[in-house]
Structure formats: structure tokens, C-alpha cells
Amino acid sequence: MPPMAGSSTDRAFYFDLSSPDAWLAAECVLSVVPQPCEWIPVSMPFEPAWRCAEEGLSYREDVERRAQALGLQTVKWPDPFPFDSDFAQRAAMYLKGGGKTVGYVLAAFRQAFNGGKSLELPENVMIAAAAVETHPRALLVGTDTQGTKRRLTEATETARERGVVEVPALWDEERGVLQGEAALASLTAAATA
């Protein structure tokens, strides 16, 4: 598979900030995935296909149990959930250019799933970006450029070419892709071992 333009590693972690599973995976990546590992935002929003309200409740309880097993703060669900992550993902791509991806992403995930703040609202994204010393005005301008939007689209296309159809996903040049529940299970098992 072709390397992503500008990619400097043979390993990548793909995420969308709307996904609680991607949040749990992100909390493990730095400690269990061999480094370097490039963190790459993609447009693959969390779109659950729950058949009933009980399935949604069961999913939330599962996320809460996994977070507790990882020693994370208590889960507080954002409203709305799921939320539109387009702006937050563009912010991740913009901040990637300055080497601030990991700090921003962890702050944004925690803002959403520990703080209960929807990343659909720009002000909540700006709070996460402040954690990596990014001025709100710079963030608003940077997320609205055609270059940022194009890079996010290209990253999503490259991920799909690599076989990624859901997040979280780990891609390794030698081993291929591990995604969704399999990626999360692998990361959380390693983190709690």
C-alpha cells in the first residue's frame, strides 16, 4: 500500500473524535504501540446502528467498564451523543501540521468523554486546543482553510486504501490493519496486562 503523503513512520493510529472506542484506544497507544506511531485524523464518525435504546445503554455501560479497567476518569457522556465531529477533526488535522496532534487529541477526547462536552460546539474544541497553546482565532482560521479540509479528505482516502473502514484503527506497514473492536481489544488488553 502507498505511504501517506508526508508520513514519516511505518505505523499509524487512525481516529475520529466522535468515537468512544477511539478515545479508549488513544489512551493506550502511547504506552503499548511501538513508537514512532503517527496519529492521523480521518472522517469516519461514530454512527451506531443500535436496534433499540437498550443496546445504546449497554454500549455506554461497556465503555464505562473499559474506562474504569484502564484507570481513566469517570465517563461523562456529551449531549448530544453521538455528535458531529467535523470541526474537531479539522482542528486535529490543522494542529497536526504543528506537531500538536497527540496533546490536542487526548485533551479533546477527555473534554468529550470525561467532561461531557460535545465537540460539535467550537468552544469545546477551542478549550482542547488551548491545552496545546493554540489561540482560538488561529484555530478558527486554520480549520477553515481548503488545505486543512483537503488534507483531512486525503488522510481518509489513504486510510481506506490501507483497508481501514472503522476507527479506532492501527495500521502497520508489515502487519496491515487492525481496526474497530479488534484494535480496541488488543490495545486495552496490552495496557491492562
Supply the Cα-derived Rg of the chain in whole angstroms: 16
- Hunting for cell 462536552 — which residue is that? 117
Top-level CATH class of 11-192?
A: alpha beta
Lowest model confidence (mean pLDDT) among 2-6, 157-161, 162-166? 2-6
Is residue 127 predicted with pLDDT exceeding 90? yes
> What pLDDT does residue 150 have?
98
> What pLDDT does residue 100 have?
97
Pairing of strands 11-15, 38-41: parallel
Taking CA 31 as the corner, what is the angle to CA 87 and CA 176, rounded to the nearest 5 degrees? 70
Tell me the DSSP string of 91-122.
Answer: HHHHHHTTT-HHHHHHHHHHHHHTT---TTSH
Per-residue confidence band for 156, with pLDDT thresholds at 50, 70 and 90: very high
Per-residue confidence band for 6, with pLDDT thresholds at 50, 70 and 90: very low
> What pLDDT does residue 105 have?
98
> What pLDDT does residue 78 have?
98
Asked if residue 170 lies in contact with residue 178, where contact means CB atoms within 8 angstroms, the answer is yes
Is the bond preceding 82 in cis, omega lying within 30 degrees of 0?
Answer: yes
In three-state secondary structure terms, 24 is helix
Is residue 1 predicted with pLDDT exceeding 70? no
More confident residue, 57 or 189: 57
**Domain parsing of the chain, residue ranges:** 11-192
Asked if residue 24 lies in contact with residue 60, where contact means CB atoms within 8 angstroms, the answer is no
Is residue 3 predicted with pLDDT exceeding 70? no
Is residue 92 predicted with pLDDT exceeding 80? yes
